[in-house]
Structure 1
Amino acid sequence: MIVLTRLSGTAFVLNADLIERLDSTPDTVVTLVDGKKYVVAEGLLQVVEQVRAWRGSIIAAGALPDMPPQTMAQRAHLAAVADHPTLEPTLEEER
């Protein structure tokens, strides 16, 4: 996701994977794969750099070493609580 600025000055976040093309006319126009267009204050090269940085961060995160699996003793123990004092009995349990 990249942060861009509309010409009105408001910032918005855009999914960089949905960008089909960028045009400089002289304003920067971002065209998405569905045909929707955004005119942004950032220059063409700034948008390209943001997309590169975003994709690079995704690739870098995928290159992190896998964490070793936890043993059962290391995992938090969660279980269903059927005998809790505030639990109201169902109709079937009352019969």
Structure 2
Amino acid sequence: MISLTRLSGTTFLLNADLVERVDCTPDTVVTLVDGTKYIVAESLDEVRAAVVDYRSAIVARAALPDAASLTPAGPSPRARLSAVPPPSRTPGDRHRGGTS
């Protein structure tokens, strides 16, 4: 999320993944994919920089070798799937996948 400021001076967080476009008319208008519009005090370039910084931080965090250490402490979830070795087959087996 990125932090933006309404013209009234209050700040709010906006999901940067929902931004469709940013217009400067002369106020900066952020339009979301659902058509919602926000008029903000930041300039067009400041909004763009905030979105780029946000996405860069996500990519950088995902690239960390110890990204698992960023998850909250607690029991790790169990794997739902596991590799099961195929049944051993001998040349005399008539049925595919195992013994008869």
TM over 0.5: yes
Percent identity of paired positions between Structure 1 and Structure 2:
63
1:57 aligns with 2:57: yes
Q: Which SS does the other structure have where 2:26 is aligned?
A: coil
1:17 aligns with 2:17: yes
Tell me: CA distance 1:67–1:48, structure 2 relative to 1, closer, same or farther (3 Å): closer
Please state how far the C-alpha of 1:40 moved relative to its aligned partner: 0.1
Structure 1: segments with no counterpart, 5+ residues? 69-74, 77-95
- Aligned residue runs from structure 1 range 13-92, under 5 A: 13-66=13-66
- The list of structure 1 runs, each at least 4 consecutive aligned residues, that deviate by more than 4 angstroms after superposition, is none
1:8 aligns with 2:11: no
Work out the CA distance in 1 between the residues paired with 2:8 and 2:54. Answer: 24
Please state how far the C-alpha of 1:12 moved relative to its aligned partner: 0.3
1:88 is aligned to none
Deviations 1:55-91 (A, max 9, x none): 00000001011468xxxxxx97xxxxxxxxxxxxxxx
Work out the CA distance in 2 between the residues paired with 1:31 and 1:46. Answer: 15
Structure 2: segments with no counterpart, 5+ residues? 69-73, 76-100
Work out the CA distance in 1 between the residues paired with 2:32 and 2:8. Answer: 20
Work out the CA distance in 1 between the residues paired with 2:54 and 2:7. Answer: 22
Q: Which SS does the other structure have where 1:29 is aligned?
A: strand
CA contact (8 A) 2:61 2:67 kept: no
Instruction: Provide TM-score, normalisation by structure 1.
Output: 0.69
CA contact (8 A) 2:5 2:40 kept: yes
AA of the residue aligned to 2:57: S
Work out the CA distance in 2 between the residues paired with 1:67 and 1:17. Answer: 22
Q: Which SS does the other structure have where 1:38 is aligned?
A: strand
Q: Which SS does the other structure have where 1:47 is aligned?
A: helix
